[in-house]
Each structure stands twice: as structure tokens, then as C-alpha cells.
Amino acid sequence: DQQVKQNSPSLSVQEGRISILNCDYTNSMFDYFLWYKKYPAEGPTFLISISSIKDKNEDGRFTVFLNKSAKHLSLHIVPSQPGDSAVYFCAASGDGGTSYGKLTFGQGTILTVHP
């Protein structure tokens, strides 16, 4: 049962354009969502997060949008740069019931930004 899903395995964009990465979740107990970036041969690094009480959070070129009714979140990168090329994972956590402390990840999306 994949509770966090990233249905696009890969995304290719031109430098300077917008990159939009999507993520869907099924567990309504999730109340905190995160995006991570991963380069080859390195551990994932935290990028940006959003609490379920918000619908948008911005940090420089990165913006995360949350649509709770649709159980959907997205990460926007504007403008995209070649150094943004990496695997992006979304993750979710929630403290309800048996989920206390659990952090669940999606399958990842490979972003390639072409110069």
C-alpha cells in the first residue's frame, strides 16, 4: 500500500523555465509534508516543507503547494537551473494512531534541467 505516490518517474525542463513536481497521498492522518533532493552517491537533503494548516510555503526559488481536499502537493522551482538536476522525493508524516513518528516517502522523480 503506497501511501505517498509520485506518479512521474522523470521530468525534463529547460533552464530558466518552471519545474513542477507532483505528489499524491492517501492517508488523511498525514499533517506535515516535506520535499527532499538527492544527488547520486549522497544522502537525501531537506529542501522545503509545509504543514497541513497552510496551503503554500515559499523559500527562494522553491514553493510547495498543498491541496488537502485533493490529497495532493506540488513543488515548483522557478527558475530552474542545471544544478537542480537530481532526484526529488516527497515525504509525509502524521502523529495519529499507529503513525506516530513515521516518515513515509514517495518513489521519487528524476528532474533534468537542460542548459
Partner 1 sequence: NAGVTQTPKFQVLKTGQSMTLQCAQDMNHNSMYWYRQDPGMGLRLIYYSASEGTTDKGEVPNGYNVSRLNKREFSLRLESAAPSQTSVYFCASRDKLLLNTEAFFGQGTRLTVV
Residues interacting with partner 1, by CB under 8 A? Answer: 6, 9, 31-32, 34, 36, 41-46, 49, 51, 89, 91, 93, 98, 100-108
Enter the C-alpha cell of residue 29. 492522518
Question: Which CB, 91 or 113, lies closer to partner 1?
Answer: 91
Q: Shortest gap between Cβ of 65 and partner 1 (angstroms)?
A: 17
Question: Which CB, 41 or 115, lies closer to partner 1?
Answer: 41
Question: Which CB, 46 or 78, lies closer to partner 1?
Answer: 46
How far CA 59 is from CA of 3, 41, 77, 92, 114, in Å, comes to: 26, 26, 10, 19, 23
Determine the distance from the C-alpha atom of residue 106 to the mean position of all C-alpha atoms in its chain, rounded to a whole number. 8
